[in-house]
Each structure stands twice: as structure tokens, then as C-alpha cells.
Amino acid sequence: MRLIKSVLGLVLAMPLLASAEEIGTVSTVFKFVGPNDRIVVEAFDDPKVEGVTCYLSRAKTGGMKGGLGLAEDRAEASLACRQIGPISFKGDLKDGEEVFKERTSLVFKTMQVVRFLDKKRNTLVYLVYSDRLIEGSPQNAVTAIPILPWPKQ
């Protein structure tokens, strides 16, 4: 019963997560069969913070397994979030709240971006990391955005 509630909660929360738009890609390893290994740069807007866009670069595994969606992508990622307009909040922010999540293996591994609000410094902090059902990875990246007034046009 607890598992069913957890799965239902995840399904209901999915629309609240940002979806990424591919900005560009570069090939890193040529594969004879299937797509090449590559680095993908994606952008997504924070669904609860208007005026913030994050840029995520990460490795995508190619080859036959990668082409079929069966390969496990590497845990390394880079993250840069920027203020692109006036910042306003759509509801309450929770520290460690998931902003973006994507599967990086068939079942057990995901890459996530979470947000923190540093009230003392009036700054939004975003963290990207990869986790696995059994054992996660300590590899991570962080970026911060001071909440500043936006000049009127």
C-alpha cells in the first residue's frame, strides 16, 4: 500500500517538474553502430521561480544500447542557472525541492536538480547530482543566483 501511494505521489508530482529543451549537442566518441556518445546542453525554467533559467550539460551514452535507451549515462554534469527577468515565486519554496529530474539508465539511475533558498544571503542555490537506487554518486555541481531587482524596460 505504501508503494502504491509513493508511485501515485510521483506521478502526480511529475507535471510540477521542469522539462528540458535541448540547446545543443557535441559528439565525443564515434560509434560504428547507433548514435555517438555526446554531451548535451539543455535549458529548463524553474517551474516555481519565474525569471530563472538553468542550463545543464551532461553526457549521453550512444552505441546500440544508447540508441535503444538501455545504456547508463555517466553521473558527471555541469549546471549554470541565471536570472533572465524579474524573479517572482509561484507558491512556497521548500529546501531541497526537486526542480528537474531525468532518467539516466533504464530503471535505477536518475539525474536531479534541486533548489535551496539561502534567506540570509537572499540567494537561490541549485544543485545537480545523480542517484541510483542502491548507491548514488558524490559527483555534483552547484550554481547560485542572487535575487536582485530587475531593471524596467
Q: Is residue 15 part of a domain?
A: no
The domain of 94 spans: 21-146
Residue 14 lies in a domain: no
pLDDT digits (tens, 9 = 90+) for 49-83: 999 999 998 877 665 555 555 555 566 788 999 99
Residue 67 within any structural domain of the chain: yes
Mean per-residue pLDDT, 13-42: 73
Q: What is the DSSP string of the chain?
A: -HHHHHHHHHHHHGGGS---EEEEEEEEE--SSSPPEEEEEEEEE-TTEEEEEEEEEEEE--HHHHHHT-SPPPS-EEEEEEEEEEEEESS---TTEEEEEEE-SSSSEEEEEEEEEEGGGTEEEEEEEEEESS-----EEEEEEE--PPPP-
Instruction: Let me know if residue 93 belongs to a domain.
Output: yes
Total structural domains within the chain: 1
User: What pLDDT, in 10s, does the model give residues 115-140?
Assistant: 999 999 999 999 998 886 666 667 88
Asked if residue 56 belongs to a domain, the reply is: yes
Residue 151 lies in a domain: no
| Residue 11 domain-assigned (yes or no) | no
Q: Is residue 34 part of a domain?
A: yes
